[in-house]
């Protein structure tokens, strides 16, 4: 099927949509990229070829995996718009050569831009409020400055996640505290659409009041979180495996996004 415009989303769990649960969709999630595609599709009149959307992102992928497995696949689809966020899983590793990594990233962005597609990049989230992931804040700051440099070099658009203070609110995060919640994904869709200079009619739902917990209950909740999420995450890293190893992309081919 021919489309007037083609949007291809690349990356890891952030773009795959983890945390925005939807049991009827592939991988059981929806995510900000699906929501952006739905809004972009509404700009076409009924009966027009409209927007084609593919999402090649897979949870757990490191940057060089995203570049080697997803860039060429995206180019084949002939995109007019590509979003890509890669590198977060590298930053969380014990050792990482950020400069070398970003050199590869720049070459990948160049290949995407050579298709004539607009490219949308992301800075990393400021994890200052996290007792676990806050330790990587300095690395993320270096990564972000290099992302901005790469974006400038290749005339790419940037979504500056680092500056989005609304994500300091724990309600913007899912129970695993690693991925955005449904409100977080909806908010990110609105942020992306703003960078694309497109209006969003999707409103972030009213957030439930934050529970008031005693120190004892906070400690118990933190211990449960560590057992259920941090422990398995560390175990996978030590074993060199990923939760996405057996997964294929959610939307590997261009399709018309459903009406929301």
Q: Is residue 210 part of a domain?
A: no
pLDDT recorded at residue 233: 63
pLDDT recorded at residue 32: 97
C-alpha dihedral, 146 to 192 to 198 to 47, nearest 10°: 120
* Residues across the chain: 260
Q: Is residue 21 part of a domain?
A: yes
Q: Is residue 209 part of a domain?
A: no
Q: Which residues of 79-88 are buried (b: 16+ CB within 10 A; e: fewer)?
A: bbbbbbbbbb
pLDDT recorded at residue 44: 85
pLDDT recorded at residue 79: 98
Q: Is residue 156 part of a domain?
A: yes
Positive or negative, the Cα torsion across 54, 59, 63, 69?
negative
Mean pLDDT by 10 residues, the chain (260 residues): 92 96 95 96 83 96 97 98 96 91 98 98 88 80 97 98 94 88 96 91 79 72 67 66 81 87
Cα–Cα distance measured from residue 151 to residue 157, given in angstroms and rounded to the nearest whole number: 6
pLDDT recorded at residue 238: 63
* Residue-number span of the structural domain to which 158 is assigned: 5-204+215-255
Cα–Cα distance measured from residue 63 to residue 156, given in angstroms and rounded to the nearest whole number: 18
Please state the domain count of the chain: 1
Q: Is residue 108 part of a domain?
A: yes
The domain that holds 167 is classified in CATH as: 3.40.50.1110
pTM of the predicted model as reported, rounded to 2 decimal places = 0.90
């Amino acid at each position: 099927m021919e489309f007037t415009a083609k949007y291809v989303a690349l990356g890891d769990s952030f773009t795959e949509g983890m945390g925005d649960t939807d049991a009827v969709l592939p991988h059981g999630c929806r995510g900000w990229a699906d929501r952006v595609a739905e809004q972009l599709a509404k700009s076409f009149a009924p009966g027009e070829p409209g927007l084609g959307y593919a999402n090649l992102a897979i949870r757990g992928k490191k940057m060089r995996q995203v570049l080697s497995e997803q860039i060429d696949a995206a180019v084949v689809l002939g995109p007019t718009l590509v979003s890509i966020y890669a590198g977060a899983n590298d930053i969380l590793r014990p050792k990482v050569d950020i400069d070398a990594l970003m050199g590869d990233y720049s070459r990948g962005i160049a290949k995407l831009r050579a298709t004539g597609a607009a490219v949308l990049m992301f800075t990393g989230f400021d994890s200052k409020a996290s007792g676990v992931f806050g330790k990587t804040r300095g690395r993320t700051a270096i990564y972000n400055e290099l992302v901005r440099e790469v974006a400038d070099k290749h005339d790419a658009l940037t979504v500056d996640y680092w500056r989005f203070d609304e994500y300091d609110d724990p309600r913007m995060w899912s129970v695993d505290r690693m991925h955005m919640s449904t409100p977080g994904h909806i908010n990110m869709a609105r942020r992306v659409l703003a960078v694309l200079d497109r209006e969003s009619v999707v409103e972030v739902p009213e957030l439930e009041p934050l529970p008031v917990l005693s120190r004892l209950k906070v400690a118990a909740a933190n211990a449960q979180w560590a057992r259920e999420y941090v422990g398995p995450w560390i175990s996978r890293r030590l074993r060199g495996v990923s939760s996405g190893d057996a997964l294929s992309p959610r939307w590997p081919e261009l399709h018309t996004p459903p009406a929301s």
